[in-house]
């Protein structure tokens, strides 16, 4: 076994002021701990993640999960991991990282592991120089030699002036780690078992403890509050956008764009200002997205244009045009060359090729065939207010729906049929028929003239 990595992800994170566990706060559409796990997977044969019972285990895959039922500190969390994975050989390097440091990369961990090996250390830790070390454990040295790590709450005023901080990343030989963990006591203000005490214990036993400083400077060394979450998000978002642009995506104004980690975008796509693309959305070639558009968990094929619109959990074929100001709700599917136009809302509906809903309409729970034109102001009345289940509407191919129509579900419009403007359609319309569902117009001559006279 090359090495094992333990990810500490059971902390409460009180400074987040949230009911959501700290490591589960999202950065670009995924929990921050996932970035740490990715870094660990890049260097380790086996990744063990220590979590609390408040964390949803279904978000994790290809890792070994260990529960820390009572939050007794980092030392106890590591002990739980070692107890659950007792088959780790004694000489195996055990890499330990905190789950709240999403900016750490596999390359940083590789360098620490190489340093650990080259220095023939029993323990190696990763430190950094911070302009604002408040809240972090300080590295206490005697000249250049490591003495101990002191936590902020236990530090003296002189120790608080130290700007070399503990990143919470270590490599231990497994046998040394096991021995030291069993000797840690909660002799501190927090009454917790500090993993940092293991280094002091081992140093006193003559085990070589080496310190490696990070070559690069992080803006945050662990996310502890919402401000630091924002800083980390901005950096990771920048990395995502850089990768897309280098792969052939045009992004007009990166400061106004948010694209999640799992989004896939083909080349020659143009992203205009004010766009959010979230979840597991995929976008094909030669699309134009935006401005001011949000797309969530959707599949968008090639040559699609979406502007000033919201699209959620929908599927669009080639050459579709969406918006401006359209709302495409979940479970909607558009074939090729479909237009969902200005101020149109669609929900749980299917649209065949070359079908158009140009403006001012609501289409819900509807199956629409190809070559259909739906006139302005049309709505499908899919809910009667009495039953929770919505009623379907079926519009077959080559149908023309007149402006300001109300289609009262369940109802079917046959192939090639027309409906007159202003109609309320409550019954099936046969193929190639014209349906007129409106009151007969009556003109009362000179009525307005008489009314004006009566009002004097």
Catalytic residue annotation: 359
Query: For residue 173, with 0-12 CB atoms within 10 Å meaning exposed, 13-18 middle and 19 or more buried, which class applies?
Result: buried
User: Is there a contact between 249 and 39 (Cβ–Cβ < 8 Å)?
Assistant: no
How far is Cα 77 from Cα 83, in angstroms, rounded to an integer? 10
Buried b (16+ CB within 10 A) or exposed e, 392-421: bbbbbbbbbbbbbbbbbbebbbbeebbbbe
Helix, strand, coil percentages (3-state) for the chain, rounded to 5, are: 20, 30, 45
Burial class, 247, CB count within 10 angstroms (exposed 0-12 / middle 13-18 / buried 19+): exposed
Q: Which two tokens stand for residue 168?
A: 């919470």
Closest CA relative to residue 322, chosen from 273, 359, 285, 347: 359
Buried residues in 216-236 as b, exposed as e (16+ CB within 10 A) = eebebbbbbbeebbebbbeeb
Question: Structure tokens of 264?
Answer: 């896939």
Going by their DSSP bridges, the two strands 264-265 and 209-213 should be labelled as unpaired
Asked if residues 64 and 80 have their Cβ atoms less than 8 Å apart, the reply is: no
Do the bridges between strand 424-425 and strand 406-408 make them parallel or antiparallel, or are there none, so unpaired?
parallel
d(CA 156, CA 393): 73
What the block records as the tokens of 65 is 């999960």
């Amino acid at each position: 076994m090359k090495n094992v990595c333990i990810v500490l992800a059971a902390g409460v994170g009180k400074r987040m002021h949230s009911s959501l566990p700290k490591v589960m706060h999202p950065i670009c559409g995924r929990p921050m701990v996932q970035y740490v796990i990715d870094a660990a997977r890049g260097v380790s044969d086996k990744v063990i993640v220590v979590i609390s019972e408040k964390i949803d285990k279904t978000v994790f895959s290809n890792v070994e999960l260990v529960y820390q039922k009572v939050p007794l500190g980092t030392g106890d969390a590591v002990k739980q991991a070692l107890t659950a994975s007792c088959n780790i050989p004694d000489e195996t390097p055990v890499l330990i990282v905190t789950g709240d440091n999403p900016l750490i990369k596999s390359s940083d961990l590789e360098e620490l592991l190489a340093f650990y090996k080259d220095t023939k250390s029993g323990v190696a830790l990763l430190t950094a120089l911070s302009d604002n070390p408040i809240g972090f454990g300080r590295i206490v040295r005697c000249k250049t030699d490591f003495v101990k790590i002191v936590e902020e709450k236990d530090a003296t005023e002189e120790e608080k002036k130290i700007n070399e901080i503990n990143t919470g990343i270590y490599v231990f030989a497994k046998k040394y780690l096991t021995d030291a963990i069993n000797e840690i006591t909660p002799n501190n203000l927090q009454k917790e078992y500090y993993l940092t005490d293991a280094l002091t214990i081992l140093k006193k036993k003559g085990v070589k403890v080496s310190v490696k400083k990070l070559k690069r400077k992080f803006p945050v060394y662990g996310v502890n509050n919402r401000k630091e979450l924002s800083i980390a998000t901005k950096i990771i978002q920048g990395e995502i956008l850089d990768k897309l642009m280098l792969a052939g995506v045009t992004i007009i104004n990166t400061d106004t764009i948010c694209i999640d980690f799992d989004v896939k975008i083909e080349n020659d796509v143009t992203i205009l200002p004010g766009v959010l693309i979230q979840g597991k959305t995929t976008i094909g070639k030669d699309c134009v997205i935006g401005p001011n558009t949000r797309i969530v968990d959707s599949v968008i094929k090639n040559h699609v244009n979406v502007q000033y619109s919201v699209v959620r959990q929908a599927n669009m074929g080639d050459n579709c045009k969406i918006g401006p100001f359209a709302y495409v709700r979940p479970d909607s599917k558009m074939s090729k060359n479909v237009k969902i136009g200005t101020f149109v809302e669609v929900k749980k509906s299917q649209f065949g090729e070359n079908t158009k809903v140009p403006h001012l309409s609501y289409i819900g729970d509807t199956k629409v065939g190809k070559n259909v034109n739906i006139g302005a102001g049309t709505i499908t009345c899919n809910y009667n207010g009495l039953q929770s289940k919505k009623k379907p509407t079926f519009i077959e191919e080559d149908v023309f729906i007149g402006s300001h129509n109300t289609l009262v579900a369940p109802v079917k419009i046959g192939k090639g049929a027309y409906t007159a403007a202003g109609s309320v359609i409550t019954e099936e319309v046969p193929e190639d028929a014209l349906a007129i569902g409106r009151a007969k117009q009556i003109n009362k001559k000179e009525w307005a003239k008489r009314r004006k006279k009566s009002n004097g």
